[in-house]
Every structure is written in structure tokens, then in C-alpha cells.
Structure 1
Amino acid sequence: MSPERATIPVLDLSTARRPYGSFSPEFIGQLRDAAHNVGFFQITGYGAAPGQAEELLGLLRRFFELPLEERMKLDNRLSPHFRGYTRMGTEVTQGKADAREQIDYSPEREPIHNYPAEQPYWLLQGPNLWPDHAMPELKPAAMAWAELMSGVGMELLRGIAVSLGLPEEHFDAPFSDEPAWMGKLVHYVGGVVEAAGDQGVGSHADYGFVTLLLQDDVGGLEVLPPGTTEWATVEPIPGALVVNVGEMLEVATEGYLVATIHRVKAPPPGVDRYSVPFFWSPRLDSVIDAVPLPPELKAQARGLSDDPANPMLASFGLNMLKGRMRAHPDVTERHYPGLMQR
């Protein structure tokens, strides 16, 4: 890898396992190198139905072409669970508005009202907001995509476990029963949010385990892996998924795997960009312990790339709640003003 700009590897997930079921050593080697050195890679051959990705991106376009008053029926300020529609320019990264609008969604579950004071992350659980009357086809398509991504995310996590010298089921337990994955349906538009400038999404690392991103052909995603000095562009590959490591895996491996900083540049004025990020994440009450790395890998662990103003937490639920509150201060202020004082 160049010390200036990284190259983003491309892996074929259909080659991950040998005919009798175990992981291919060649694939595991590629996966380890990508997750350790870059923290980002793209995958093909992940099992989407023919046309499924293109259909979902087409539905996004149709939703964001609905009148604003129709989209606002899903206003995320109505949801105490940080779900629904976020207006253009109201999500915040690094304290600055992003030039995007989106729908946030997660598993459809009943809210939890009586939870211990030290477990405020349970407020994240609840129902989604969907355009059931204006566009009833959006929910089933988005949830089918989430089901596919859950399987892909688990397969990658099992491959990552093997790449670390662990049994492939090492990470299964935190994802059993009720994993707290999160999906987004995102529309970027350049030149309409003055405060954002060219920031589609500001530089950040993801707080979960594995992120799977479907992007259209417009581009704009840039990454800055450790040891590099120039942002690298993740060029769109039709139908492929962009994968990156989240903070929970960096914490668990003491920095052997890296949650790489990335950003999205807003498209030029008048150009639309659509993407579907999916965050494969465990149960909200999961606490992630350090994994026992083989000595040769432990010797290459970098330690945590921690920001004192945004510390990584071993509790997934608290890490996720921290991220949601930072991104949506208007929702937090409306529903949980007491949490803002902590």
C-alpha cells in the first residue's frame, strides 16, 4: 500500500468457502489483509437476486421525489427511537450539517419503556416509520435488503474471526436473538445546503462491527486508511458492496483491525447520489471483550485510534446511542433533554 494513497481491494464472496464448507485460505488471506491494512474493501458475488440492488436504488429515487409534505409524514423528530425521515441538512457530522436526506430504519420491535438507568440504549428499540400509503412497496424492499445484508454481514464476520485465528462462530453470540442492525436510505444533493459546503457526510468512523454499502454510479466516498496521507476514492462498481470495519472490531482487536476514517463529498449542484448503508450490529446489550489474537497478529496491533472527544466504548448499545445523539441533536433535545446533560 502506498504511504500516500491506498488501493481499495475487491473480493469475491462467492469464492469464500470451499465445496465442503470451510473457508478458503486464499479468501481469508485477502480478507485479513484488507481489514488490517485498509479497513475498506468491496465485495461481489454476495447473493443478491438479479436486479435487486437496482430496484432498491430506483425506489429510493422515487421516494425522494415525493412532495416534501409527504416525506415529512415520516419526520424523525416524531420518533423517540431515531427512526424515519431526516430532512436535508439536519444530520450533523463533526458538528457540521451534511448535504443529504435519508430514512433510518432498524428491526421492527416493541419499545422498551422500563429499562435500568444505566442502560439508556434500550430507547433505541422501537418501530420504524414508512410511507405505507404513498409508497407501500418501499418497506418490503428495504426489509428484504436488510435480511440479505444480515446474512452477508454474518458471513463476513465469520470470515474475519477465522482470519484472526479464532473459531468462525466466535462472534455469533452477540448477534443471536435480536441484533440491532441499522439501515439507511440516503439521497445526496450538492449545492442546496449552504452550511454543508461540499460535505455530503463529514469524516468519521462507523461505530458498529461491519458496514455494507450499496452505492450508485455517482461516487464521492473517500477513505483515509492508517499510514496514508491522501484520501482514496472508492470507485463505484455496479452492484458491488463497499465493506468497512467498525469501531467495535477495532476495540476487540486492540487496533489490529482498523475502523478507517471516511467521508462523502457532495455531488456537484444538480446531481443526485443515492446509497444504502447497512450497519451489521449486535444486540444492544452486547459488551465486546478483547479477542485472543495469535502473537504474530497481536504484535501488529496498532492500539486504538481513539479521539478523546469521541471515545470508543466496549458497550455496543452505549456506542450506538452516543452516535445517534451526536448525529441527531434535534431528536435528542425533543425526546431526551436529560441525556444531553450527561
Structure 2
Amino acid sequence: VPRPSCGRVTRAARPFASDSARGALVARHPALPAGSALRAHPLMRQKTGRYSIDDFALVVDEVRLGDGMPIAKIVRPESEDAVLDMYVELGLLDHDPYWAALWPSSVALARGVADRAQGEEGGDLRGKSVCDMGAGLGLAGIAAALCGAESVAFYDREPLALQCCLLSAEANGLRVAFGNETGLRVIADDEAVEDEDDDVDLLDDAVYVNGESSRKKKKTNQCVVSASVFDWNAVPLDQERFDLTLACDVLYETHAVKPVASLVPKLTKEKTGVWLVADPPLRAPKNRARFVELVEAFDFSLSKTRETTTTHGGSTDTVLLLEFEAK
């Protein structure tokens, strides 16, 4: 299914037969569950126009990452139409409402991360830093966290998408870093458990069923996740670099190819960093070829290319996975 352009928002461009066509819906989810430590997170206060995540009905999808791997829980708006209508109302026709859907490329990328983590060819994520660039709902980053990454940073330009990433992190029992520009921690009263070893807040695992919150004390995944509003056209000079950067559905518009390619050296650790990109093989092959050409000019090599078939939510799609390594 071609992903529509983010440069023109129209209802006719919407590819879904129904809002739940691609999801494995398991439960509804309150925007901020009772007792959630995320209530104190600065990002949760950001809005798009007058809208916050509280203005949308949310649901939880479950995505299987593979045999013997954890199941990822993803919090998303129940209706992509509601997100589209928000952008139309606000006149933000250059914004992409389709972050609110679980796309085949995101599922394929998440499973590709899980496959690498189980393999013997350098895919072990233990001790690794990961960036989910253009994260959307953050499925790939959640997969990396569940598969043993030390840290995962979600980058997207849409605060509402990042809020869903943080809600998903909490739903999966992950630790969320709280902070502000001064580096001080922000801790919700009596809701976060402080870890003595790391400058983060430890969130209890939470289970949400039909809008009810049940908090259980249990061992929490040690990965630390963070989320930042990110403009790939204005990368800071002191930009953090990562062991592994994940990206999907970022090459479908010609004008995006060069800026995305320029991110590769800016986000990747020298000599050892890896980029993993998921892209539908037939959508924009010329854009993909140009992207490969530009990335290789930055002294990276296309080390692996494989086509994978992904089935989720009753739909089967083919996705291309490309792996780039720093030379």
C-alpha cells in the first residue's frame, strides 16, 4: 500500500479500509492512565495547535516480533481520521497524519531488529544506543528496547507521536528518562521508583484493560528510553551519535532523500555505527537508489539488502531492509 504524501493532506489519500485494518487491537488505553509517572514528563505537556494526546481516543495494539521474542505493545490513536481532521482544521497541510498508523515497513523494521538481536553477526544490542529516527508510533524503537538495547531515543517532529512513544514505553515496562534543559530530573510524586545507579526514573509495569489501570511491581526492562522533537533540517552541532539508527518510510518523497541521507553521518558513531532502513520495494525505487548513492558518498557501505514478507493485522506486504555500516 503506497504511503500518501505528507505534503498534501486529503481524505482521498487515506489508504485504509478501516481504522483497525492493520492492527491487532487488544484494549483501549487512557491518554494518561491514573498513577502514570508520565504526567510529570515535559513532553506530555506539548501540543499541536490546541490539541494534546488527551483529545484522542487511544488503543493498544500487540505486535509479535518473532519466535521467542517479547510482544510489543503499541499505543496509538484509535482513528487515523481524527488525526487527519486535526491537521486540516489547523491548516497544517504540510504535516503527515499517517504517523498514527502501524505501517508494514514499521512492522518489518521491528522484526528485522529482533532478527538481528537473535543472530550471530553483530546484531547483539546489549550496551548499544539506538535512535528511532522519524519514529512515528515508535514500534522499531520499542522492539530494540525489548531486545536488549541500553538506550533508545525517539526522534520525530510531531509531539503527539512522541507522546504515543512514551505511553508505549510505559505500557511495555520500560524506563523513561525525565529531564529538562538544565539536566534536572522531573519526578512524579510517589509514582516513580528512583534507580540509584542511573539518572532516570523507573516506571512500574502497567497493564491497561478497558481503560482501567492496574499497577504491578515486577522487574522492569533496563533499557532507558527518551523522546525529543527533532527537525532533520536543523540538526544541532552537538548532536548525539548512536550505535544503531532505525528509519522506515522516509524515502517516499524526492525532496526528503538528501536531508535524510545527510543525517547518516550526523547520527551515526564513527567507524562502528549502523543504519537499518525499511522501505517498500516498489514505492520509490529511484529515491532509494539516490539515497544509497548519497550515503555511500559519506563513507558508508550498503552491507546487506534483503526482501522480507510481513504479515500483521490480516495484511501481508513485502518490505525491503537495507543495512548501512560506517567504514
Asked if Structure 1 and Structure 2 have the same fold, meaning a TM-score greater than 0.5 normalized by the shorter chain, the answer is no
Higher relative contact order, chain-length normalized (CA < 8 Å, sep 6+): 1
More helix by share: 1
What TM-score, normalized by structure 1, do the two folds share?
Answer: 0.30
